[in-house]
Structure 1
Amino acid sequence: MAEQERAIRTRRTILLAAAKVFEERGYQTATISEILSVAGVTKGALYFHFQSKDELAQGVLTAQNQNLIIPDRAIKIQEIVDIVALHTYRLQTDPMVRAGVRLTMDQLAQGLDRSGPFRSWAVPVRERLEKAQAQGELLPQIVPAETADVIVGTYAGIQSMSQALSDYKDLVVRVAALLRHLLPSIAQSSVLASVDISESRGANVYEEALEHSRQLAASAKEAEALL
């Protein structure tokens, strides 16, 4: 058990180092040597977990999607807002998420499959739009798959602009403005009156999602102990 925990810690250390180097240097110019230096691990330890720079990059891209579950809301448009708000908060506070976004948007990252994060965003947004449609929350012309892509694509542009202009310092303000412009073209006005898009929403959802994840983990351990 101790060895397994040590391996998990080492893998996390390597991924954090890779995230730092990828964020600062980009995929193309980052090197394994730099990542080794930042991680402070042996080459053998790194190659035990990751066989190449591509695998390291894919590890960072995957790690940015931390398993944080947003609790169900009665209003599904609120869940979409919460997905956006949570990612915005983590983009400002989590270096792994920032590095993952840098890799996703890095058009010079030749040979790296950058499609995963876009899909992992679009799918849950589309699913919630479909539920919102079934509940009568959406305007009649909305096509969930199309609108999901618009939301993900416009957010990608807004975060990229914020990174270039202020290193994400104004991201919350820009995202709030994006939602104020987008939501009225998607949802019924009667629904929007009950939706919270305040600038503190991301931090609140993050704490709520963390607590929800802790409860799920505790329940899983209890169930395992009973077996």
Structure 2
Amino acid sequence: MAKQDRAIRTRQSILEAAAVVFDERGYDAATITEILARAEVTKGALYFHFASKEELALAVIDAQMSTVPDPSDLAGTCKMQQLVDMGMIFACRMVEDPLLRGSVRLTLEHGSSNLNRASPFNGWTEVHTRVLVEGKERGEVLPHVVPDDTAELIVGAYAGINTMSQAVTNRADLERRAIVLYEHLMPSVAVPSVLARLDMSPGRGPRALALAEAERSAGRAEDGQLIAAG
């Protein structure tokens, strides 16, 4: 078990180091040598987990979806608040999570490589579609809203403000841009009674993240009590 845990930690260290290098230099300019130096691992250790730079980059890209809580971890809020919270938490995590930043850089950059960058777009669209469908079933969404079309619009628009924020302020104003996006978008999505209760104010990302972490902690505690009772 200790050996397995060590292997998991080594893989994560390599992923995080690679994300930092990819974020700083982009895929084409990044080298395995730089990643090895950042991760402080041997070439053998890296190639044990990842067969090539491309495979490592794809793993960084695929890690993006795990860096933001699933909407189910925000159980105490309505579905349209969950929709907003995903974007607000994303903006918050972009400041503090190098793995997320590296994943976003690889996803949005247009280099010479043939990396498949579609998985985060497909993943985020699927999650947003699910939340919109559930919101519509609960009466939170306006009748004219088509969930999959609206999900694609939100994900595409967010990618746009993310790119612009990176180019203009090195992501310093991503939260503000996300707030403006939702303030313009949500009146066309949420019914008025739900819209009036939505929190899209500055600092919502950290607050929502704290709520999600509290939900997960409560869930783990409950699971532990069930195991003990069993």
Q: How does 1:97-136 map to 2 (within 5 A)?
A: 97-108=100-111, 110-136=113-139
| More off after superposition, 188-197 vs 143-152 | 188-197
The amino acid across from 2:65 in the alignment is N
Aligned residue number for residue 30 of structure 1: 30
* TM-score when normalising by structure 1: 0.92
| Alpha-carbon distance, 1:209 to partner | 1.7
Relative distance call for 1:8 and 1:226 in structure 2 (3 A) is farther
Aligned residue number for residue 194 of structure 1: 197
Q: How does 1:7-156 map to 2 (within 5 A)?
A: 7-66=7-66, 68-69=69-70, 70-73=73-76, 75-108=78-111, 110-156=113-159
The amino acid across from 2:34 in the alignment is E
* TM-score when normalising by structure 2: 0.91
Aligned residue number for residue 173 of structure 2: 170
Relative distance call for 1:6 and 1:219 in structure 2 (3 A) is farther
The amino acid across from 2:16 in the alignment is L
Query: What is the count of residue pairs matched by the alignment?
Result: 227
> Which whole-Å CA distance do the structure 2 matches of 1:190 and 1:145 have between them?
23
> Which whole-Å CA distance do the structure 1 matches of 2:226 and 2:78 have between them?
31
> Which whole-Å CA distance do the structure 1 matches of 2:12 and 2:114 have between them?
24
- Does the 8 Å contact 1:162/1:171 carry over to 2? yes
| Alpha-carbon distance, 1:222 to partner | 5.8
Relative distance call for 1:109 and 1:3 in structure 2 (3 A) is farther
Q: Which runs of 5+ in 1 are unaligned?
A: none
> Which whole-Å CA distance do the structure 1 matches of 2:39 and 2:219 have between them?
31
Q: Which runs of 5+ in 2 are unaligned?
A: none
Deviations 1:129-150 (A, max 9, x none): 1112122222222110000000
